[in-house]
Structure 1
């Protein structure tokens, strides 16, 4: 802990709270009359009392574990270190045994303590206390021994109030940012829907005298040289050789060779049928478990893959590989795949059904026009996504920067205006 401002001191958590108390042990139930706050109810940052379950067996003495305003509960196992400052709990609410209760005494403002329990300084101590065990956990003594900087009571209140105000603006900015991934997903899906319905190239057809009726209704097999999948026999393993891909290596819509953990010998790869050997411009399509993910093979390097991945070899003169990929990832085709997938534990799209996927095919010239428009629109979306990620990273750092400033005694100064301007 760095040097503290004049009048501040370093204290233990146990110095400013009551003796820590472990929670009550029982199972949870969807119905009952005594709420049962668990570790999992804290991890979202705020307690949603409506979703907190009930005790299967109520404590004999409910008051012993009953939560009160300004109690602080900290998770000692699982999501170690997460906490909640209890505000307006429902009547008859108790806390689970994986939580430890601390009741702030008259020397500390509960909100001040709660803010500290979100700081990097706190989390560094938690990480150190929980290290060295198979299942991370901390006990009451370790938590009580955590240290924190303590200002005067009046300054604690000013700091806590200022943090409430500033961090509320950070939270509001975060809430606005959190909407962006959903908006981008909807945008990409709407682009794909427009691309595969003809809406995206409506003006192009009008300019070129082409009718939408020229789009042919066919099946996937009609535009492909072959549709197969990976070898159904377990392949031999070697430490280094030809990469052997599984779904996790392609689940993001591209081949991630950096995550490959399995290789096969050259002679195994050579023995595969040509329809199972990927070539530039082929389409891979996941058919089991996380089914419905298409990607274009954009490498000349040799590799092979498990049977949960299909390989589609398009007829180049008939269909553009990129246009085919767009069709396979469109909302309409994914809905169709979901409808025909079979199985319980892991849904599977059979090769027979994959070959019968309905395709609406425009001319090769219009396919190129569609592909170019989608690429352009997706590039705009990718730019926005990068800007979102950069803004999110800055905002994540800003919260910790504000907390650090607060517990160095620098928040309630003339610098306040600078901080507020950043998050406004």
Structure 2
């Protein structure tokens, strides 16, 4: 249905914008007398584009943050490096409380904003903008949350310039976004929620690392040195047996790992302990559906992204019982760059796995959270490397997952490791709840500060 909206010529000149979408009623608001509104640019002490430079994954140079390393209002971990001079590093070094704005992305994600809350010798890429507010007027935590509320996201998106599959909000347009000047004590309440959330997030990471370290110590992986030799041979019998002629399948480190595990632990193949080992289905997505859909994008190095699941209908869930996911199931990323990444499903909510997610259901009395963590360590990663197929795009198929060997340790130790992972997830959920509380508080403040807020 068409939306008609009348605007003045003065407004178009004032904003220097002529596109109808910019004046869409869902974006337009009128300030109330409760708070003064100013443009973000008027309260900034610094606004800086990041580095335009080639990156590497070989640890050469300094860690460099990219647009996909902003998550739930925080910067996460920089996974690539920029080989730059010390002078450039000093100019672009990120500091605690820097606010980072993603200026170029898909329209869905452009404007994603995160705050840095720990000291790190890192820099940032050119499609990010560093902004530092004057704390006399706006606290960095408040600015971060404001830009992550539905209202703030809307004010960002209305200023996006579109191109093919991309949108851009320049630093100049970012500066033109309006923000209410809320009293500092109220902003400090928001900042406290953000800081407490960050502390819980760090506790979550610590617990997960403890689980990983305990597992590696138990399995002797902390002292395990792999043979990375480039020269090796295999027998014709092995080739016939495995039905593989690709050289990487026979790397010595794979045999070395299996030898280590079998010599020190009781080991089983996934195929012998799994009651179900199949990929999910391609569902029909329903925006306001009742059933969660788990895609490969929701599987991470630690926990599933429970708060980002897609949705489908209950009918779709009932139609595909083979893709139903239940508490304790193990989910594996099977197609693309991160194949083999594994998470346990630790929720009682109904869910459906998509076609690039492999579902493992275990029939034996083995802690599945422990087992998922095993598959996320060197043990799972090396076997994924061994059994993956495809050249243009890597694939990990159920019949190959069934060949994976996993070590079984003392039941109480498996439970202890699994509990650490579960405690880590609990802390992470608490951290996310605090961010949601912060957003809700800011949204209520905006409702008081603006008329016609949608």
Instruction: Tell me if TM exceeds 0.5.
Output: no
